[in-house]
Amino acid sequence: MQKLNNYILGKQISGDGDGQILYNAVTGNPIAAATTKGINFEEVLNYGRKNGYALRKMTFHERGLMLRALAIYLRKHLDTFYNISYQTGATKADSWIDIEGGIGNLFANASLRRKLPDTPFCLDGEHHPLGKQNTFMGHHLLVPKEGVAIHINAFNFPVWGMLEKIAVNLLAGMPCVVKPATVTSYLTEAVVKEIIASNILPEGALQLICGSAGNMLDYVTSQDVVTFTGSASTGLQLKSHKKILEENIPFNMEADSLNCIVLADDVEKGSAEWDIFIKEIRKEITVKCGQKCTAIRRIFVPENKIEDVKNDLSKALSQTTIGNPLNDKVRMGSLVGINQRNEVKEQVQKLLASSQIIYGSLDSVSTIDADAEKGAFISPLLLLNENPFTSKEVHEVEAFGPVSTLMPYKNLEEAIELSKLGKGSLVSTIVTTSEKNAEQYVLGAGAYHGRILILNNECAKESTGHGSPLPLLVHGGPGRAGGGEEMGGLRGIKHYMQRVALQGSPSMITAVSKVYMPSAKGNIDKQHPFTKYFEELKIGDQLITERRLITSEDIDKFADISGDHFYAHIADTDFSGTMFERQVAHGYFIMSAAAGLFVDNYKKNPVLLNYGIDELRFTKPVYPGTEIYIRFTCKEKIAQDKKDETDIPKGIVKWLVEMIDDTDELTGIATILTMVAKKNES
């Protein structure tokens, strides 16, 4: 039988022995075998660490463009991926979430390059002045770890599970080894095969093992990062590994959890929110045949609405056609394998100790264009538990399939307490039209959930749904859910970088970080900074302007032009009891006057436009008779991509604007952004 390839050590290795046979979840026919027997995992990890240098020396912009190119490349092979995905029991809609959702993660993380510097590292947070004379300061710097990210993934999303993790570690500059769950690893292998063929990633940036992870964790080091997605029990076993503890290795765990949805008492049958509630639950039970770590397992409903919800949910589930995913009429496919079906049934039997089935059957299911026994098919199951506060099983046992339990509550306080009995969840949803209910639930249940969706008719059309983690938001949850977090936009890359606290002079921190620090030495020359092209500008290029006298007439004119006649800007105001001695200049006038001082007037230059102002602060009143001058410094440069062939090559330059009075004290400070042309196309 054909064996899957392990992409390791720069080549394809199929492993020794017969391996584990993998089956088509729909037909039961064998597909391939997977094995890692004979693989030296110490060599695999060392190979990744050694070759990781290529990634680490790339800038965030280069890594981001690499991810974008990879996403575009993979989209050309969608048909291949979809055809293989059907064999996992996934419908086209299920596969879309897995395949195109995974590729979407690459695009989303690629876009983060615009928020990061064109360097291999970045600053984290704000700078901290540590001396009265401004000669000593502190800052935090993030640098890529020099190890390997090891991703141990679950079976339910063989594409998304891999791509959502590697997108982040690659952007951070860290190579990885991916170990997908063996049962669906044939789909992961197909995607990795194309990634390797693309030659877009540096050699060793991505390695794949299809089969057992063996003794790989015996060879991890303090520079490595381990992530795990799967059951809480397996996660705990891995997290407790001797080497993980000894080397203090970051371990990010995303475990299956007993997520819940709450119908608030303000929602009535027949309303738009009622229909949204029913639709959301049906979707979460049937999409991916319920094999989602974020699926709704517990449904909390006001006790006087239990019967109506039971009837409407049963009707909705009865309209779900089950069978061969290749059939256009099918809306729910199969579980990933017979073993998974057996496990789901075992878990349901545990739930039946305190619950009853009110829709579906454990023993039979009607299928279209498929053999229900040869394939891993199962009926959607809706259970009812009438005593949720005294039944522990419903808050502890998860049947990882199309299974959910309906439960009553008396008031929202009870619903919040019931949500907490899951001991930590990835996600919860409350369906409500009441802002008060939403606030009460979020603040009451928030500590026990990684994400909360407030769902109503206002957001339903654009909502990605209860079960959809998003690349720019954290995905994870406390307690049983693993206590970790994935993705999260810029937050996510910090898992794969080392935070270093820097201390030194502003000039030294500027030299290391490539971002100008206040009070650092400036580079002053005869050429005005605005006459320099993007490539010619250096961090620290500085202009000290001439002085301008601020008069009462200036302030009056600005008040008339702007329409801002705030009392403090009017000369004859009685200033007793105010913060001011007398008429004071508008802060925005001082900022405008600053522009008049630092702009290279009348001359056409490489500055294309003013892009905006960040962090504008007015720190000292400016009274008539005060002279001001500006210290204008190139703070940071961010290259931009050309949108098309006709676009002007350019970048964004951040300038530190310090507005200083005749006592040499700051009256205001800001960061302005200009769009500056490049001299060259590249």
Taking only the tens place, the pLDDT of each residue in 642-659 is: 888 888 889 999 999 999
289 is catalytic: no
What per-residue confidence (pLDDT) applies to 52? Answer: 86
Does the structure show a pLDDT above 80 at 1? no
Nearest to 150 by CA among 257, 42, 277, 78: 42
Q: What residue ranges do the domains of the chain occupy?
A: 6-119+146-254+491-498, 259-470, 504-677
**Cβ-based burial of 249 (10 A; exposed 0-12, middle 13-18, buried ≥19):** buried
Does the structure show a pLDDT above 70 at 59? yes
**Which fold would CATH assign to domain 259-470?**
Aldehyde Dehydrogenase; Chain A, domain 2 (3.40.309)
The rounded percent of the chain whose pLDDT value lies above 70 is 100
Task: Find how far residue 342's CA is from the centre of its chain.
Answer: 34
Does the structure show a pLDDT above 90 at 632? yes
User: For the residues 497-522, what does the mean pLDDT come to?
Assistant: 94
Residue pair 370/377 in contact (Cβ under 8 Å)? The answer is: yes
> pTM higher than 0.85 for the full model?
yes
Does the structure show a pLDDT above 90 at 19? no
pLDDT-derived band at 533 (thresholds 50, 70, 90) equals very high
pLDDT digit string (tens) for 536-579? 999 999 999 999 999 999 999 999 999 999 999 999 999 899 98
pLDDT digit string (tens) for 354-387? 999 999 999 999 999 999 989 999 999 999 999 9
- Other CB atoms within 10 A of residue 556 CB: 16
User: For the residues 217-234, what does the mean pLDDT come to?
Assistant: 91
pLDDT-derived band at 187 (thresholds 50, 70, 90) equals very high
pLDDT digit string (tens) for 107-124? 999 999 988 999 999 999
Catalytic residue chosen out of the listed positions 164, 189, 254, 485:
254
Residue 97 DSSP label? I
What per-residue confidence (pLDDT) applies to 682? Answer: 59
Nearest to 281 by CA among 248, 305, 259, 253: 259
| Rg for the chain, CA atoms, rounded | 30
In the CATH scheme, what is the homologous superfamily, with its name and number, of domain 504-677?
Hotdog Thioesterase (3.10.129.10)
Residue 484 to residue 469: CA distance in whole angstroms: 14
CATH number for region 6-119+146-254+491-498: 3.40.605.10
What per-residue confidence (pLDDT) applies to 532? Answer: 92
Give the start-end residues of each E strand in 562-645: 607-618, 627-639
Residue 101 to residue 98: CA distance in whole angstroms: 5
pLDDT-derived band at 15 (thresholds 50, 70, 90) equals confident
Residue 483 to residue 676: CA distance in whole angstroms: 44
Does the structure show a pLDDT above 90 at 235? no
Please calculate the CA angle 173-179-180 and round it to the nearest 5 degrees. 115
254 is catalytic: yes
Residue 590 to residue 611: CA distance in whole angstroms: 19
Nearest to 149 by CA among 86, 205, 212: 205
User: For the residues 50-76, what does the mean pLDDT come to?
Assistant: 94
Catalytic residue chosen out of the listed positions 210, 293, 636, 658:
293
Provide the token pair at 678.
């490049």
> Considering only 390-394, 432-436, 600-604, 630-634, which range has the smallest mean pLDDT?
600-604
pLDDT-derived band at 43 (thresholds 50, 70, 90) equals very high
User: For the residues 277-284, what does the mean pLDDT come to?
Assistant: 96
